[in-house]
Structure formats: structure tokens, C-alpha cells
Amino acid sequence: MQYLLLIYSEPATEAPAQSQIDAEMAEWFAYDEAIRKSGVYVDGNALEPTTTATTLRLKDGERVVTDGPFAETREVLGGYYLVDVPDLDTALDWAAKCPGSRYGSMEIRPITVFDQG
């Protein structure tokens, strides 16, 4: 079964020290290597900051495009991993190992597969 591990964190209010960035990135690179080597990795990406987001809504058939995320929230979506694992418990195990679980929160959602036949 495939699960999406959504990584949320609070946006930085000030630039961290380079040593902190280096330490955190080392954690991310180690996790990324481990999840890829495990065989459960399907896909994953980091997202650019919410300041680069664009939101689209249709109002009376017309596109309404606005800059920024769709809602004001305390935490923002920073990236994701898509994993193929036997069950939710295994997805939760991988989410718990993710550095994002220490800096924010992880949302684990099963992927819906539609029968198109």
C-alpha cells in the first residue's frame, strides 16, 4: 500500500546559523539515503517556500489566481515522501524516523487508487 508522508513545519522567522543548517541537512541526507536503500521509497521532494506558492480557484467559471498558500496556518507543507509499505504501522515507523517529525509534524495519508478499467 502506498502512503504519502507529508512534512509540516513552522516557517523560519530568522536565518539559522550555518552550523545548524549543516547539522539538519546531514540528518535529512541520512534519512533520504536510508529510505531509498530500504526499498520502500517511491518518490519525494522538498517544496520551495510558501512565498513562491500560487493558489487557483474557479469562481463562476473564471480563474482567480492569488499569490501565496491557500490558507493562513501556523505550519506549512515543506515536502513529502511517497512510500510503498505493507501497512500503516510501517508508514508510521518511517514517518517517525524522518527529521521532519522532530521539527514539526508528519501527516500520513494512504493513496487512493481508482479502478479505471
- Average pLDDT of the chain is 91
- All structural domains of the chain, each given as residue ranges with its CATH number in brackets, are 2-11+18-47+75-110 (3.30.70.1060)
CA 54 to chain centre: 17
12 pLDDT exceeds 90?
Answer: no
pLDDT digits (tens, 9 = 90+) for 60-107: 999 998 887 666 667 889 999 999 999 999 999 999 999 999 988 999
AA letter at 91: A
Quote the pLDDT of residue 76.
86
Quote the pLDDT of residue 68.
75
Task: Using alpha carbons only, give the angle 97, 99, 104 rounded to the nearest 5 degrees.
Answer: 115
Quote the pLDDT of residue 71.
62
**Mean pLDDT (whole number) for 2-11:** 93
Distance of alpha carbon 70 from alpha carbon 44, whole angstroms: 22
13 by DSSP, 3-state: which? coil
Distance of alpha carbon 84 from alpha carbon 1, whole angstroms: 5
Distance of alpha carbon 67 from alpha carbon 65, whole angstroms: 7
**Mean pLDDT (whole number) for 38-64:** 92
Cell numbers given for 60 = 463562476
Quote the pLDDT of residue 89.
97
20 pLDDT exceeds 70?
Answer: yes
95 by DSSP, 3-state: which? helix
Quote the pLDDT of residue 22.
95
* pTM of the predicted structure, to 2 decimals: 0.85
Task: Using alpha carbons only, give the angle 53, 96, 34 rounded to the nearest 5 degrees.
Answer: 85
